[in-house]
Amino acid sequence: MSEKPIILGIETSCDETAVSLIQGDTSGVPKILSNIISSQVDVHKEFGGVVPELAARSHLEKIHLIANKALVKSKIRIDKISAVAATAGPGLIVCLTVGLNFGKALAASLNVPFIGVNHLEGHALSTKLQKKIEYPYLLLLISGGHSQFLSVNGLGKYNRLGTTIDDALGEAYDKTAKLLGIEFPGGPKLESFAEKGDPNKFELPKPIINKGGCNMSFAGLKTAVLRITKNINSVQEKFDLAASFQKTIEKILYIKSKIAIEEFCKINSVKNGSFVIAGGVAANRGIRKRLIEISQKKKFNPIFPDINLCGDNAAMIAMVGLEKYKVKNFDNLDLNANPRLALDKNAKFLKGAGVKL
């Protein structure tokens, strides 16, 4: 087995068609040889959200082109690839199937191992593309579909400490942005709106802030924003509401991260460690600032992926592929896509009205 294996990663779980080639390195930090991402924002913009059928069609149209682009950019001959890794879940089944089948066919034709990857594990290990991190570490995964605190104990070994009991944080950003008249996906733009507003103008709720450990809830914020938007007219008031929303989220994450760090220390019998914040929302500058503050206060080392590795990309899928390749954790070609794949398979389902915290 090569000391410097080359992994081709494929990501098509939602609305990004992405292919990347990375090469393992004896330093422990792999080299990203190429990382091509084709976003479908323009396809879905007019619908205000991702339309699965259109997303799948777009993946089908583009996957060959993107794979070819990634290969050319990497300057690697196709027969030098050691393994092919593709996202197997969670995500939209019609989208996952495109990348998964393309990956299986490519692996079979090259006669190399095929590796199915949990998309969330991709986010969890994305920082390993930049630096070495010792297990266990605390992870806050904040993305379009998930918001969870996890103790990452090793490859494939996750212990969920807390989760959102309703909306994911990215979803809350996108829904609030929509109410403020910002185009999909509104998260990044809402942040720039917030920078022009008064964060103390509107008081927004912080659901379950004093209970439920490090579990989180964001749905109540969207409802409060909806109520306020009915009574505001000026652009400045929209900036103020965005700023108030941003401030409230920062506060919630600060408090819940403090609890999560304490729980992490307790279950792992440690006094300090690394706190990795990953997923699309980890690109948010205000959130980064506040989470650096709480990390320093608790003597934790805050680690964020580069902005271009926060959102969906295939380098993070190849990263998981590389880790699995090293321990020969391969999949058969009959592996099915699983839209509900979880990180901690033993964690309780905590969603919906009447959930007991």
Ligand X SMILES: Nc1ncnc2c1ncn2[C@@H]1O[C@H](COP(=O)(O)OP(=O)(O)OP(=O)(O)O)[C@@H](O)[C@H]1O
Interaction site with ligand X (CB under 6 A): 14, 91, 119, 123, 143-146, 170, 173-174, 185, 187-188, 191, 279-281, 283-284, 311-312
Tokens 């570490």 belong to 137
Residue 101 CB, nearest approach to ligand X (Å): 19
Per the CB < 8 A criterion, the answer to whether 8 and 69 are in contact is no
Residue 284 CB, nearest distance to ligand X (Å)? 3
For Mg ion, which is the closer residue by CB, 143 or 217?
143
Q: 8 or 278, CB closer to ligand X?
A: 278
Question: Residue 170's binding partner, choosing from Mg ion, ligand X, none, with beta-carbon cut-off 5 to 8 A by kind?
Answer: ligand X
Nearest residue (CB) to ligand X, 46 versus 79: 46
Please state the closest distance from residue 198 (CB atom) to ligand X, in A.
Answer: 19
Residues with Cβ within 8 Å of residue 2, at least 6 apart in sequence: 24, 82
CB of 191 to ligand X, least distance (A): 4
Shortest separation between residue 14's beta carbon and ligand X, angstroms: 5
* Beta-bridge mates of residue 160: 150
Site for Mg ion (CB under 5 A): which residue of 312, 313, 315, 319? 312
* 303 residue type, one letter: I
Minimum CB separation of residue 311 from ligand X in Å reads: 4
Task: Measure the CA–CA gap between 336 and 333, rounded to whole angstroms.
Answer: 9
Helices (H), 7-153: 41-44, 52-74, 93-110, 119-125
Say if CB 12 and CB 95 are below 8 A apart: yes
CA torsion angle 38 90 280 226 (round to 10) = 110
CB 87 within 8 A of CB 100: yes
Instruction: Please say which residue, 32 or 314, places its beta carbon nearer to Mg ion.
Output: 314
Count of beta carbons in the 10 Å neighbourhood of residue 297 = 11
The strand pair at 6-11 and 83-89 is best described as parallel
- Binding partner of residue 48 among Mg ion, ligand X, none, CB cut-off 5 to 8 Å per kind: none
313 makes contact with Mg ion (CB under 5 A)? no
Q: Which stretch binds Mg ion (CB under 5 A): 23-31, 195-203, 233-241, 305-313?
A: 305-313
Q: Which residues contact 114 (CB under 8 A, 6 or more apart)?
A: 83, 84, 85, 86, 103, 104, 107, 108, 330, 331, 332, 333, 335
By CB under 5 A, is residue 171 in contact with Mg ion? Answer: no
Does position 143 interact with Mg ion (CB under 5 A)? The reply is: yes
Binding site partner of 67, from Mg ion, ligand X, none, Cβ cut-off 5-8 A by kind: none
- Residue 97 interacts with, from ligand X, Mg ion, none (CB under 5-8 Å by kind): none
Closest separation in Å from C-beta 97 to ligand X: 16
Please state, in angstroms and rounded to a whole number, the distance separating the CA atoms of residues 255 and 258: 5
CB nearer ligand X, residue 113 or residue 145: 145
Q: Could you list the residues that contact Mg ion (CB under 5 A)?
A: 143, 312
